Amino acid sequence: MGSWKRRPCVGALLACAAIAVSCCLQGAYAVAAPSFGDNFEITGAEDHVKTSADGQTWYLSLDNKTGVGFQTKQKYLFGWFSMKLKLVGNDSAGVVTAYYMCSDLDAAPERDELDFEFLGNRTGEPYIIQTNVYQGGVGGREMRHSLWFDPTAEFHTYSILWNPKQILFFVDKVPIREYRNSDKPNNKFFPIAKPMYVFSSIWNADDWATRGGLEKTDWTKGPFVSSYSDFTADACAWGAAAGAATPACAAKTGDSWWDQPPAWALDDGQRQDSGWVARNLVIYDYCDDRKRFPTVPEECALRTTAS
């Protein structure tokens, strides 16, 4: 299949998500859609954030003084998390746009974390998308992919499905990474116990992000701007107040679509898509790195798709 004109299969899992979101949007003529400010608060220099007139799109900028970010006002345990992003265009070497979930408001040593990181490049060179999973402060589970489109030309959708059975990273409804839990209780690789906030940020990482740090940020090309819209969290929300009681949805009740059997594994169409991604778009996979991991990490054997 051609990597540029391919029409991805979309299975029952995403259909359920679309139905759930559609139901939430019924009556939208009576109630305005939440703005970014309803869901998020700015972290860092507020003058580096601009908002569209309708409040539905945020623009984050990075210059040689500082970057900026935002975080959700509440945290979540399991669910579907989705955001549209348009990445920094032109020469973006050294610039990283991060869209991630984390159990702590800082880089706490015992944090759980799910990462999308978009690594900028020189003009004309493609972006690289890096994903990672932390459990108990231990990460190092990087995968890197190329993309089948220009992520700077228009908005594209990046999503995470997280439930007790699996974590899936999606790009425009295509599952690019499958990360499964095991039946073994209390394993050391799958984040399952800590609710997480949703974050995004833009920052300078020219010490490592582009060609291992060989390409430095050209500040004459700044400011560098990333754009965000259409955040969706169809998920189990924790109360914003400290010490809030554990919500009923945190239990494995099966009441939500993301905690039912169709969301526990890839369907046939998604498995086909995932296999195509593995054959065509993977740049680096820690599971294949015998220098770093002479013994294959336990979670790598749980994947249901292969190249």
Q: What is the DSSP string of 189-247?
A: S---SS-BEEEEEEEE-TTTTTGGGTSPP-GGG--EEEEEEEEEEEEEEPPSSTTPPPP
Per residue in 208-240, pLDDT (tens digit) is 999 999 999 999 999 999 999 999 999 999 876
Query: Is 233 contained in some domain?
Result: yes
Consecutive H or E run containing 279: helix 268-280
Query: Is residue 10 predicted with pLDDT exceeding 50?
Result: no
Q: Are 287 and 297 in contact (CB under 8 A)?
A: yes
CB atoms within 10 A of CB 236: 24
What is the tens place of the pLDDT at every residue in 132-175? 999 999 999 999 999 999 999 999 999 999 999 999 999 999 99
CATH number for the domain harbouring residue 162 = 2.60.120.200
Is 22 domain-assigned?
no
The answer to whether position 23 is within a domain reads no
Tell me which of 246 and 69 has the higher pLDDT. Answer: 69
**Percent of the chain at pLDDT exceeding 70:** 86
Q: Would residue 143 count as lying in a domain?
A: yes
**Residue 222 domain boundaries:** 43-239+247-302
Residue type, 71: Q
Distance CA 86, CA 226 (A): 6
Phi first, then psi: give them for residue 253, nearest 5 degrees.
Answer: -85, -25
State the catalytic residue, choosing from 41, 117, 125, 178: 117
Band the pLDDT of 241: cuts 50, 70, 90: low
Indicate whether 3 pLDDT > 50. no
Catalytic residue (one of 41, 46, 110, 113) = 113
> Kind of pairing, strands 156-162 and 143-145?
unpaired
**How much is the pLDDT for 304?**
93
Taking Cα atoms as reference points, which of 280, 282, 305, 237 lies closest to residue 39? Answer: 237
Residue 127 pLDDT level (bands cut at 50, 70, 90): very high
- 49, 223 Cβ separation under 8 angstroms: no
pLDDT for the residue 240: 60
CA distance 140 to 133: 8
Decide if 4 is inside a domain.
Answer: no
Q: Which position has the token pair 């974590």? A: 167
Query: Which stretches of the chain are assigned E, i.e. beta strand?
Result: 40-44, 49-51, 57-62, 68-72, 76-86, 95-102, 113-119, 128-134, 143-145, 156-162, 166-171, 174-180, 197-204, 224-237, 282-285
Residue 305 is predicted with a pLDDT of 84
Q: How many CA atoms lie within 13 A of 213 on its CB side?
A: 3
Kindly state the percentage of the chain with pLDDT values over 90: 75
Give me the number of domains the chain comprises: 1
pLDDT bracket for residue 278 (50, 70, 90): very high
pLDDT of residue 32: 46
- The torsion angle over the Cα atoms of residues 87, 88, 94 and 99, rounded to 10 degrees, is -30
Least confident of 17-31, 83-97, 213-227: 17-31
Question: Please, what is the average pLDDT of the chain?
Answer: 87
Entry pTM: 0.88
Catalytic residue flag (residue 117): yes
Cα gap 152→29, rounded to integer Å:
32
> What is the spatial distance between Cα 164 and Cα 155, in angstroms, rounded to a whole number?
30
Confidence band for 13, pLDDT divided at 50, 70 and 90: very low
pLDDT of residue 55: 86
257 contact partners, CB below 8 Å, separation of at least 6: 16, 17, 19, 20, 234, 263
- The upper half-sphere exposure of residue 20, i.e. CA atoms within 13 Å in the direction of its Cβ, equals 18
Q: Among 284, 299, 307, which residue's Cα sits nearest to residue 135?
A: 299
Relative to beta strand 68-72, strand 57-62 is unpaired
Q: Is residue 148 part of a domain?
A: yes
DSSP for 8-25 reads: ----HHHHHHHHHHHHHH
| pLDDT score at 33 | 57
Tell whether 296 is covered by a domain: yes
Q: What average pLDDT does the segment 74-95 reach?
A: 95
Catalytic residue check, 125 = no
| 285 occurs within a structural domain | yes
What does the block give as tokens for 183? 């039946």
Question: Residue 38 belongs to what H/E stretch?
Answer: helix 36-39
